[in-house]
Homo-oligomer: A and B are copies of this chain.
Amino acid sequence: MTKEEAKDILSSKKVIGTPKRVALLRVLSTHKKPVSVSELLKKVQKDIELDLVTMYRNLTLLSNVGIVKELHLQKGVSLYEYNKGDHHHHFICRGCGYIEDIHDCLSLDITEKALKNTKKFSSVSDHSFELFGICNVCSK
């Protein structure tokens, strides 16, 4: 993703395309897997000076407008991924944390059923689905 593309994406959500945000978004967009905050900081800092606090604020901002997604797969760890708009789920290794995307989604049926069965909800905004296992490297 070029700097121009990043700026366009940001401004399409009415977010000012500051250099730090552009750098952040570009790093996020090159990552196929969800990234931790500390990893993200290192990578962005190769490009531009950036404070951890600013990163957090911008991640929250981008998350609020839907440009990035936040994942909470384990205690005390937040992962972020660029929201390309392609709906997908994750296959996660309990050993090393390796993550692979799953591009199938069969949640429609269960979502409909759940809406029929509940009296407390009228709609579903989104959902998460994660598979956990031990990857072939860890199980050796």
Interface residues of A (CB under 8 A from B): 70, 72-76, 78, 89, 91, 93-94, 98, 100, 102, 104-107, 109-111, 113-114, 117-137, 139
Decide if A111 touches B136 in the complex (CB within 8 Å): no
Copies in the complex: 2
User: Which partner residue on chain B sits nearest A129 by CB separation?
Assistant: B129
Q: Considering the chains assembled together, what is the distance between the CA atoms of A91 and B107 in angstroms?
A: 13
Decide if A104 touches B100 in the complex (CB within 8 Å): no
Q: Considering the chains assembled together, what is the distance between the CA atoms of A133 and B121 in angstroms?
A: 7
Main SS at interface, chain A: mixed
Q: Considering the chains assembled together, what is the distance between the CA atoms of A62 and B90 in angstroms?
A: 26
Quick one: given A72-B74, A113-B104, are A132 and B126 in contact (CB under 8 Å)? yes
User: Which partner residue on chain B sits nearest A109 by CB separation?
Assistant: B106
Quick one: given A104-B110, A114-B91, A118-B91, are A124 and B133 in contact (CB under 8 Å)? yes
Q: Considering the chains assembled together, what is the distance between the CA atoms of A4 and B70 in angstroms?
A: 43
Decide if A120 touches B94 in the complex (CB within 8 Å): no
Q: Considering the chains assembled together, what is the distance between the CA atoms of A131 and B137 in angstroms?
A: 32
Q: Considering the chains assembled together, what is the distance between the CA atoms of A107 and B129 in angstroms?
A: 9
Q: Considering the chains assembled together, what is the distance between the CA atoms of A133 and B107 in angstroms?
A: 15
Q: Tell me which residues across on chain B come within 8 A of A107, comparing CB atoms.
A: 106, 129
Q: How far is the CB of A92 from chain B (nearest CB, A)?
A: 9
